[in-house]
Every structure is written in structure tokens, then in C-alpha cells.
A and B are shown apart, each in its own frame.
Chain A
Amino acid sequence: AQKITQTQPGMFVQEKEAVTLDCTYDTSDPSYGLFWYKQPSSGEMIFLIYQGSYDQQNATEGRYSLNFQKARKSANLVISASQLGDSAMYFCASHSGNTPLVFGKGTRLSVIA
């Protein structure tokens, strides 16, 4: 069974600074995907970024990048130049093949002006 661990219940970051949200995963499947979602206070889940287990390069999407360290089974999300609108819950998730997404418990990020 897959497991996702997010060890930071809450994080604070100054506006315009970079922040790293930690995620470690545990799976025995050789082929899997790793995902990060953002959930603002309105409740919807917004897909941010995806990393495949066979991808050679770290995924990037605008200000979001995924620091993928396969040997350490970590998939940390890096947000550069934080904005007030980045304040939200962030969830790391993974799945393999046709299995459902498994989520971590989330990290609440607060961006301070």
C-alpha cells in the first residue's frame, strides 16, 4: 500500500521569499506518479504539478517546482517568490497504475506581508 507523509502541519513564509513543503512517499511499485494540490479556503482542489517516477528531470510549472529525490523517496514542493494568494492547504499525493490517489495530511501555508 502506498503512504504519503507530510511532516509540517503549518508553515509561515514572508512574501516574495521561497518556501519548501516536504513530502515523503512509500511505494513498492516501480511506476508511480507524484502530485501536489493546493486547496484555498474556498475548498476546491487545484492541481499544481506532477512528477513521474521515470522522469529524469524535476518538474516545474511557473513558480512551482518539485524537488524529486527518488533514492530518498521524497518529492518536496518548492514555491518561489511567495505571494499572499499562495496561502492555502497543500497536499502531496501519489498513485500507481489504476490505483486511487493517496494523500498526505497536508501542510497549511501562510504567507505574511
Chain B
Amino acid sequence: DVKVTQSSRYLVKRTGEKVFLECVQDMDHENMFWYRQDPGLGLRLIYFSYDVKMKEKGDIPEGYSVSREKKERFSLILESASTNQTSMYLCASSLAGSLAEAFFGQGTRLTVV
């Protein structure tokens, strides 16, 4: 069965902390994505990656960075967490060069206090 796994379901961090959100997929997908979901705003793309060590900025990259050292793992990093980064974070993966659907992880609800 297809699987995208996010390391935490719920996370509470303090303002100023460095936060790592991990995502692992077992489908050998080339593409991986990080979205942020807020009420009334839908899903907004933070960063994506089409291959190992490659990354592209999405629509809202400010305050975030990413790392993709291995094909199956895509990490989202909040360099210095702020309260306006309290949100639901969703990781997804998909096959390269196709119009196939993306598969999502279960989401991480991050609260920054």
C-alpha cells in the first residue's frame, strides 16, 4: 500500500526554536512537496523537490527551508519558529512527469507558543 509518513501528528514548540518536520515515502516517487493548510486559505505550497538535493520555492517559502538528502525523505525546517507558523503541515509525493495524483501524509498540526 502506498504510504507517506510524517514523523509527528501533533507538535508544540516555543517561539524561536528550530523545528524539523520529517516526511518519508515508500513509493520511490521523485517529487515531494510541503504544503501549509490554514482555514479559509486552502493548501499553499511552501517548497517542493523533483529530485535528491534539488529544491524549488513554492508560494510561501519565507521562514522555511527544506532538505532532501535521500529520495525517500523530505524535511521541512522552521529556522526560528514564530506564532504565525502555527498551522497544519502536509507532505505529499508524486511520480515525476505524469499527471497522476499526489499522495499525502496524515499531516502535522504544529502549534508555536
> A-side interface residues toward B, CB under 8 Å?
6, 9, 31-33, 35, 37, 42-45, 47, 50, 52, 91, 93, 95-98, 100-106
Contact = CB atoms under 8 A, between A and B. Distances in A.
Contacts of A96: 99
A44 B107 contact: yes
Contacts of A105: 40-42
12 contacts: A33-B100, A44-B105, A47-B101, A47-B102, A50-B100, A91-B42, A93-B43, A96-B99, A98-B31, A100-B33, A100-B58, A103-B44
A52 B96 CA distance: 16
A43 B99 contact: no
Contacts, number: 60
B88 interface: yes
A103 B42 CA distance: 7
B99 A101 contact: no
A31 B106 contact: no
Contacts of A31: 99
Interface of B: 31, 33, 35, 40-45, 48, 50, 58, 88, 90, 92, 94, 96-97, 99-107, 109
A98 B50 contact: yes
A101 B42 contact: no
B107 to A, nearest CB: 4
Contacts of A103: 35, 42-44
A84 to B, nearest CB: 22
Given A95-B99, A100-B33, A106 B106 contact: no
B40 A101 contact: no
Contacts of A100: 31, 33, 45, 48, 58
Nearest to A92: B42
A105 B58 CA distance: 17
